[in-house]
A and B are shown apart, each in its own frame.
Chain A
Amino acid sequence: MTESSRDQILARLRSVLPESAPLPDLPPIGPWQTFEDPYARFCEVLESVGGICIRVPTLAAAHEQLNQIAAWNDAKVRLSVVDGVGDSNVDLSSIDDPHELENVDFAVVRGQFAVAENGAIWVTDDTVKHRVLYFLPQRLAMVIPASEVVHNMHEAYGRLEIGKHTFAAFVSGPSKTADIEQSLVIGAHGARALTVFAVESFD
């Protein structure tokens, strides 16, 4: 029997290993950048990458704010997975094939927490039936708890159990490209716009 490629590669690597080098310690709290007001920093960075952050006291207030957004009002197909914020005119639970979400104009989704240093929001696949909902709709609103803003990525990974979700992502702003002459264009393949509602109380 010929040796499998796997065994070949591993054997080859084992025969050429460099001397051992220590793995550095990466504590969640370490010599890492922190901010006086992480929420303010998050908003500032999010805006610099094309997103908008609106702070609201309650989900009801987020709902009201959403209704002020022209694109939401104009959206033919809307979908919200956040109770109390927006409404849906398609029934997500009855959709088995994600392709059927192709025409969603505006979706409202949940974000778990935010990162001040880079304007990113952690999203997970357990709050949406189809993960493509984070990418396919023309526009997105994300609802996050205003209190859940960590300073930096070390703190972020410190609180995460990576692998708990089949899919999860940091999302920082709407989709963008600068592939044509370094000109920044918002709305490449994913969402054209991202509005974040930072909700103070979910009660």
Chain B
Amino acid sequence: MSHPALAQAFIDDRPRAQWHDKALWFVREKRDRMATSVPEWEELRQRASEIKQHTMSLLPDYLEMFERNAKARGVQVHWATDGPEHNRIVHEILQKHQVKKLVKSKSMLTEECHLNPFLEKHGIEVVDTDLGEWIVQLRDEPPSHIVLPAIHLKKEDVGETFHQHIGTEKGASDPKYLTEAARNTLRQRFCAADAGLTGVNFAIAETGGFVVCTNEGNADLGVSLPKLHIASMGIEKLIPRASDLAVFLRLLARSATGQPITTYSSHFHGPREGCELHIVLLDNGRSEILKSPEFRRSLSCIRCGACMNTCPVYRRSGGHSYESTVPGPIGSILTPLKDPAAHSSLPFACTLCGSCTDVCPVKIDLHHQLFAMRAFLDRKKLLGMSKKLSMKFVSGLLSSQWVFSSAGKAARTALRWLPRFAVYNPLNPWGKQRDLPDAPKDSFRAQYAEHQKDKKSRPSSGTGGQS
């Protein structure tokens, strides 16, 4: 389905759509308060953007540096060109360790690779341990937001899910009660797990280590008990220096949830004694994006989700309407880049308001990329016949002043004389909830010509003249 259809379905439950909008706006406001409290906020954004652009310009060198340093610390480094290879590598490592139960902290990358169904098919139990992620896993749904995976659900929905799956009281919906129930259940999973898998927020080239940020402590619990830790990361997660972390950790949580920093910012530099640490570096189309001058800055994304929270369309259409692992503005760039034909409506789920660009902590020119993405789809002949033909027609009409004026006049006349039912029909989506403007008798150009003529007849007052 296309975004407009799914958005329409979401909005059909108007109170819920309004609630969703408000819940995310609340996060945006928290972000604003945090950003205001840092006087050098804009300076930080600028440096973050520069660090990322610098890193991208030397990405292969930094990847090699990272690999070298990580290996020196006893980390095993793997490379995967695409999702299936990533999944195969992870599975092989798990098999070698005879892992039956895997706990995962939130990783959009493994969502991107559809790792869970792959491992489950091979008989491995996978538990997503981030609370929001676990909730959607229990419901067999994809996350609807990259930071707040269950933001589309009400506490009553969660209560019902927990009642079905972990036997909480029927009808109980107190978030504290539900969180406590999840805590107790997931503690057993943590303790029973044979391996832990995390994503990576930042990988440091000069040290060969990486940082994982969570609020719940689930990543740390997941990898501090079993003897095997696998970290999956996209190759764009690299930063050159440890000191760069200062910039990114100051921006990340403030932008994401309006917190000064996540509760846990864990720095991993090698395996625990007697344990193994594996890192899987994934390309999966990223090198292709790097090739494109128009879109490469999307690789700077640190997955804070601020562009989703601020996007007026995302807030009102819900994450699932994007049918994409990463929804919202950044997802509407990344996803069509990988599969333009399947996601051609996403760049148009946007008014080009630019709020995403202004909120982005690494200054990705998101709305300009969304603008460029539309032309990219046109070049791939994916705009759809009706859009293309109507634009061809209008362009032709606008190429001649005479044709334009005549068409305008015809439209105004029609609007003034046609009965209401003829204007407001099901073929006119504008008129479903909106009136059309009152059509004036004369266009501006006619009125202006008249005005200039009047002025000439009163020569003392006139200054202008028509060319």
Contact = CB atoms under 8 A, between A and B. Distances in A.
Contact of A190 (B158, B179, B216, B257): B216
A59 B243 CA distance: 33
B85 A131 contact: no
B179 A119 contact: no
B57 A17 contact: yes
Given A118-B261, A131-B272, A181-B175, A162 B151 contact: no
B79 A180 contact: no
B328 interface: no
Contacts of B235: 9, 13
Interface stretch (B219-227, B338-346, B372-380): B219-227
Contacts of A142: none
A9 B287 contact: yes
Given A33-B38, A169-B264, 7 more contacts: A6-B79, A14-B60, A26-B47, A28-B243, A172-B260, A177-B216, A190-B218
Interface string A173-186: 11111111111010
Q: What are the 8 tightest A-B residue pairs by CB atom distance, in nearest-first order?
A: A190-B217, A179-B132, A188-B216, A162-B242, A118-B260, A132-B224, A16-B291, A163-B207
B243 A158 contact: yes
B246 interface: yes
Nearest to A161: B242
Given A49-B260, A99-B225, A187-B180, A18 B290 contact: yes
Interface residues of B, number: 94
Contacts of B50: 21-24
Contacts, number: 262
A13 B225 CA distance: 37
Interface stretch (B184-192, B383-391, B398-406, B416-424): B184-192
A189 B217 contact: yes
Given A167-B268, A171-B264, A189-B187, A177 B224 contact: no
Given A13-B287, A21-B57, A23-B50, A8 B207 contact: no
Contact of B27 (A19, A182, A187): A182
A154 interface: yes
Interface of B: 23, 26-27, 38-40, 43, 46-47, 50-51, 53-54, 56-60, 63-64, 69, 73, 79-81, 85, 129-132, 135, 148-151, 153-155, 158, 175-176, 178-180, 183, 186-187, 190-191, 204, 207-209, 215-218, 220-221, 224-225, 235, 240-247, 249-250, 257, 259-272, 281, 283, 287, 290-291, 293, 296
B262 A180 contact: no
Contacts of A187: 179-180, 183
Contacts of A168: 266-267, 269
B314 to A, nearest CB: 15
A181 to B, nearest CB: 5
A97 to B, nearest CB: 9
B18 to A, nearest CB: 14
Nearest to B38: A33
Given A26-B47, A180-B178, A132 B269 contact: no
A159 B23 CA distance: 39
A45 B250 CA distance: 14
B291 A9 contact: no
A20 interface: yes
25 contacts: A9-B235, A14-B60, A17-B290, A18-B57, A21-B57, A22-B50, A24-B47, A98-B225, A120-B260, A120-B265, A134-B220, A157-B245, A163-B269, A166-B269, A166-B271, A167-B272, A169-B266, A172-B261, A177-B132, A178-B215, A180-B179, A182-B26, A188-B217, A189-B183, A190-B217
